[in-house]
């Protein structure tokens, strides 16, 4: 009786233990599965949405404005393939002769006094600068393209389409040449007028220009090693008026106009200027502001030091 009772208790205990084990094992099997679902679901969405919300915040940064002491800020506009000069701006521009040799060369009336002063001061240093090209109208730029296309068709057996495509590798489209802005000039010397190579860089005239052009508001527009930025090969003869303040600043910092515009946040993502946009209409003679004095004393001081 006693042993039977004990056996009964033992069987019950073993049975109860077995049941407990079963429940325990089953619960171990199912719990990881139920945990796996909530683990992945709530983690994903916040991880992705949070940075997406914070990222665009720094983007709307306005362009950096001109400092108060900057002169001729009207001249700080970009001309390249992304930023053409409107044809009527170019054609109606008020220009003035800056240099005469086999023909007269013109520039925007507001920039012309700076160029004339620079040529005159160089001459006092025994440096004779020769202008080979300055302002070009849109019609003139188109005529260069037309004659180049004709030449390629007549002499190189190209179709009109091929000739046009080939021409555009060397000649900029009307509107995209800085010469149409009236602010650029090709300056070389009487002993070196080579625009097929960069040999002008080895002349004393070039050396003088590199040192002094910024004092008159001019920058070397297409410097060596910056073709990827400007889209134009190194042109040691092509100088562009941007005002004295910016010419000195860009030269000191070794920046092209494109690089400076990007640095100032003046370009959109397609490279189009969003600030200092070329004005639609050229100024009429009534609108032209009085040209500020060129700091002649500084220039004279420099010259004395050099001699
Ligand atoms: Zn040029």
81 sits in the region (left: phi over 0; alpha: psi -120 to 50; else beta) called alpha
**C-alpha span between 132 and 129 (Å, rounded):** 10
- The active-site residue out of 235, 252, 258, 281 is 235
Say what the pLDDT of residue 31 is.
47
pLDDT of residue 280: 86
φ, ψ at 239 (rounded to 5°): -115, 145
pLDDT at position 179, please?
94
Q: Which residues surround ligand 1, an ion (CB under 5 A)?
A: 186, 238
CA of residue 227 to ligand 1 center, whole Å? 14
The pLDDT tens digits for 219-260 are 999 999 999 999 888 999 999 999 999 999 999 999 999 999
pLDDT for 306:
35
Cα(133) to centroid(ligand 1), Å: 7
Across the strands, what pairs with 97? 106
d(CA 184, ligand 1 centre) in Å:
6
Please give the Cα distance from 177 to 75 (Å, whole number): 15
Query: Ligand 1 centroid vs 186 CA: distance in angstroms?
Result: 5
CA distance 207 to 191: 14
Only one residue has tokens 């042109």, namely: 235
pLDDT confidence of residue 288: 54
Q: Compute the C-alpha angle 231/235/237, nearest 5°.
A: 145
Phi/psi of residue 188, each to 5°? -135, -150
Token pair of 63, please?
A: 């362009």
Ligand 1 center–CA 219 separation, angstroms: 12
pTM of the model: 0.71
Please name each of the domains of the chain with its CATH number.
Answer: 73-136+177-306 (3.30.1380.10)
Percent of the chain with pLDDT strictly greater than 90: 59
Go through 51-85 and write b for each residue having 16 or more CB atoms within 10 A of its CB, e for each that does not: eeeeeeeeeeeeeeebeeeebbebbbbbbbeebbb
Instruction: Reply yes or no on whether 235 is catalytic.
Output: yes
């Amino acid at each position: 009786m006693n042993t039977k009772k004990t056996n009964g208790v033992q069987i019950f205990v073993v049975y109860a233990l077995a049941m407990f084990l079963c429940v325990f094992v089953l619960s171990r099997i199912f719990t990881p599965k139920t945990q796996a679902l909530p683990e992945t679901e709530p983690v994903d969405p916040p991880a992705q949405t949070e940075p997406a919300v914070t990222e665009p915040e720094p983007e709307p940064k306005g362009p950096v404005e001109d400092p108060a002491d900057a002169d001729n800020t009207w001249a700080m506009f970009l001309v390249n393939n992304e930023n053409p000069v409107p044809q009527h701006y170019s054609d109606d521009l008020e220009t003035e002769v800056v240099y005469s040799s086999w023909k007269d060369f013109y520039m925007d009336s507001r920039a012309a006094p700076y160029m004339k002063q620079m040529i005159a001061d160089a001459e006092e240093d025994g440096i004779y600068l020769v202008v080979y090209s300055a302002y070009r109208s849109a019609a003139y730029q188109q005529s260069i393209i037309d004659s180049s296309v004709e030449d390629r068709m007549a002499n190189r057996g190209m179709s009109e389409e091929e000739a046009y495509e080939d021409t555009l590798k060397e000649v900029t489209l009307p509107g995209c040449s800085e010469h149409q802005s009236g602010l650029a000039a090709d300056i070389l010397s009487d002993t070196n007028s080579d625009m097929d190579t960069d040999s002008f860089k080895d002349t004393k005239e070039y050396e003088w220009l590199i040192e002094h052009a910024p004092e008159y508001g001019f920058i070397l527009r297409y410097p060596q090693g910056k073709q990827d930025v400007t889209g134009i090969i190194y042109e040691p003869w092509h100088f562009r008026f941007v005002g004295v303040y910016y010419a000195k600043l860009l030269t000191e910092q070794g920046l092209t106009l494109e690089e400076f515009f990007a640095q100032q946040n003046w370009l959109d993502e397609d490279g189009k200027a969003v600030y200092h946009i070329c004005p639609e209409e050229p100024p009429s003679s009534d609108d032209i502001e009085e040209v500020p004095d060129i700091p002649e004393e500084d220039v004279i001081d420099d010259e004395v030091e050099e001699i």
